Structure formats: C-alpha cells, structure tokens
Amino acid sequence: MTQTNSKNSGPKIAGLPARRAALRMLDAVMRRGETLDQAEKSALSGVNAPADRALARAIVGETLRWLTDLDALIDSATKKNLPDDAKARSVLRLMLAQALRLETPGHAVVATGLGLLAGGPRKLAHGVFSAVMKREVSLPDVPTLPDRVLARWEERADMIAPGLIHPPEVDLAMKDRSEAGERALSMGGVSLAPGHVRLPRGTPIEQMPGFDEGAWWVQDLAAQIAPALLGEGSGKRALDLCAAPGGKTLALAAAGWRVTALDISEKRLEMLRENIGRTGLEAEIVKANALTYTPDAPFDAILLDAPCTATGTARRHPDVLHRVGPRQIGETTELQQSLIYQAVEWLPKGGTLLYAVCSLETEEGEAQAAWAEETFDLKRAPITADELPAGLQPTKEGWLRTHPGMLADEGGLDGFFMARWVKL
C-alpha cells in the first residue's frame, strides 16, 4: 500500500518517484514519439528500487493500453475538454489507470497524483478524478483502439483488440525442443508448440530453472515460428539478417544451421553474445550495415526479420498504438524493400528466403510479399498448417498472418507476417 506524508504533497510522498517516472515516460511517448524502451532510459534515472521501476512501467503501460477509454472518462467529467497535451490530462490518465486497472487505493492515487501537479491545477485534477470515481465507472471489457488504428486495421481490429487486454505471459524457446513437455510440467507452464514453454508473468527470468545452464531463451511464440519454418540445417549455411537480440539465431543454431548473425547495433549484438555464451550454441556474429555488407559466399537460407513498426508487439509495447502512423510505416517499407533486394542477391538458385515482420500493417506484410514476387525470380514455398502451432492456419496465399487475438484462450501471441520463397 502506498503511504503518504501528512501534507499529501512534495517529494516526501511515498511512491511519488515512481509516478513521476511514469509521467515522464508518458510524455516522451505521446509528445516526442519515443518508444517505451527509449523513454525508460531517462525517465527511470534515479528510481533505483526494482519495485518502483516495475510500478512505473506498469502504470504507464496500462495507461497507454487503455488511453482512449481513459480519455473518454476524463472528458465526461469536464465542461470543456482538456488539451491533449495538458499536464492535468496526463496526470489524470495515470491516476485513473491506477485506480481502474492496478486497483491502487484511492487515497494513494490522489496523494501521488496531486503531488505531480505541485503549482498546477490540483483542484481541477482532484475534482475530475473524484467525479469519475463517484460514478463507480469501469473500463470496457476490451480496450478501445485509437481512431487511426481502427482505420488501418479495419475489420481485423475487432479480432485484435481482445488480445491487448493484458501484457503477455513469458514464452521460452527450448534449446533441446524435446524437453518442452517436461520443462513445462516442472516449471508450472504449458507447451503450445514443439520446443515452446509458456509461463505466468512475474518470475524474474534469471531465477527460472534452466537459465544458468542455457536450456532456453525468452522468445514470443509467434517469433519462434519463423526459424522453425526453415527446418533442420544439417550443417548448411544460414544468414540471420537483422539478427539482434538473437532469439532466431539461437533457434537456427540449435536446429543445426551454420549461422551468420548480422546486425548494425553493437549494443543489441552484445545481448546476442551473452545468450550465445549462456546456451553454448555457436554462431558467427557480424556487426555491419546490411545495405553495404558483402558476404564471402552465398547462403543456403536467409531469415530476414526486417525492421518494422512493431505494431504486432502492442501487448507488451502499447506505445505503438499511439506513436505509429503513415510516416513511420512509409519509412519502414522503404527499408524493408532494400533489405529484400539484398537478401535475394545473396541467395543461390534453390536458396530459401523467409521474410518476417512483427507488424500488423498490411503495407509491411502482404504488400511486401506481393511486391517481392513481382520483382524477383522467387517461387512461393507455401507455409502449411502442420508447420504451425495448433490453432493457427496459413493464409490462402500460403503466407502466415498472426495477431494478438489469436489463441486468446491460451494467452495469445504477437502479430507477425511471414512469407517463404525459393530463388529460381
């Protein structure tokens, strides 16, 4: 329970640093267009207690997840709508998210919320919050998506939104796929596909059984499908293009491929090196710009997990619902086409290209696959149902489209698009 001092204001209010950090993160996302990961770096500076850091992330995560509905409640209690960028609106968003989603006691919400408005419209914020809560309101069963997201996702929006109610559980990919059933049983989880284990949220990753011995790595169920679609490597060469943080590299190496993992980010590659060392798997790691890199020899297979808007990760990164628009989609589609061109060049005849994006935008998925087939000598290698977790089906084109509303009874999965070809 959050405790406050007798004045209900000032820096001595217990829990106030976490709320200040949440407000800074919300501002960075909504006003500057930063990702939550980017916003955390500066916003959490000085917030040292793990519980406070986790609380700040939870508050802003739930605020962004339910932002449209929170704003509707705020507007229902004011004669004149507050400006979208008004500090009072941002603080009220955080207050209502705590009360309605995190079940924070009302007195703690008020004390910490008003503490964020020192010298500001505290009376207004208190009045609006009290008016809303006196009506004993509740949020809808499913988050209301922003208008521009509804316009882009169209009829799919109603299927996707139910998958965004909660942050995702923890998915593990087994180094030895045959261990999945036993590991799931011993760790209190479930296995939804060969080599996969799903666990409830809350356990620190480093404390889970098998971490130190490198028996698994964290990877969303949908992301685990991509390397599996290349099958067993049997010593053949594979390129994981745009590889970091490396889950697909590890999966390819575990499946017997001789993997080259290429990425431009040294910091992200360091995460890959740590996981390679922990799991005892092998891969050649190359720091290079994929648009200027020249391989020594062609690859038998290339997995292009292309940079994208990442709207498919909205379960854990709800900021994408509010900061991604036509400009970001246009920028990523141009880069994706350049990377597809490079990948096709590096394949010999008969080589396999797997294209994947964790995006829900058709411009980054279906449209790119159609463009690739029109532009290059590629033969579609249709994805089949028996290659997928139970409950998933390929599209009529033989591509794969997943979204967070799928497998909802089992906890859902990220949104991905995947297509596979053989070079002619």
> What are the C-alpha distances in Å from 198 to residues 50, 150, 238, 337?
24, 30, 27, 34
Q: From residue 12, how far is each of 94, 120, 193, 303 by CA, in Å? A: 19, 18, 50, 52
Q: Per the omega criterion (within 30 degrees of 0), is the bond before 245 cis?
A: yes
**CA dist., res. 5 & res. 144, Å (int):** 37
Helix (H, G, I), strand (E, B) or coil at 353: strand
DSSP string, 294-340: --SS--SEEEEE-----GGGTTT-TTHHHH--HHHHHHHHHHHHHHH
Q: b or e along 283-299 (b: 16 or more beta carbons within 10 Å of the residue's beta carbon)?
A: bebbeeebeebebeeeb
Q: Is 308 a catalytic residue?
A: no
Determine which one of 95, 125, 133, 358 is catalytic. Answer: 358
Maximum Cα interatomic distance, the chain, rounded to a whole number of Å:
75
Residue 333 phi, psi (nearest 5): -65, -35
Residue 261 — φ and ψ, nearest 5°? -105, 115
Residues with Cβ within 8 Å of 320's Cβ and at least 6 positions away in sequence, in order, are 35, 309, 310, 311, 313, 314
CA 78 → CA 64, 67, 116, 281, distances in Å?
Answer: 21, 17, 20, 59
Can you state the percent helix, strand and coil of the chain, rounding each to 5?
45, 10, 40
User: Distance between CA 72 and CA 92 in Å, rounded?
Assistant: 11
How many residues does this entry show for the chain?
A: 424
Residues 6+ apart with CB under 8 A from 241: 262, 290, 302, 303, 304, 305, 306, 339, 342, 343
Catalytic positions are 358
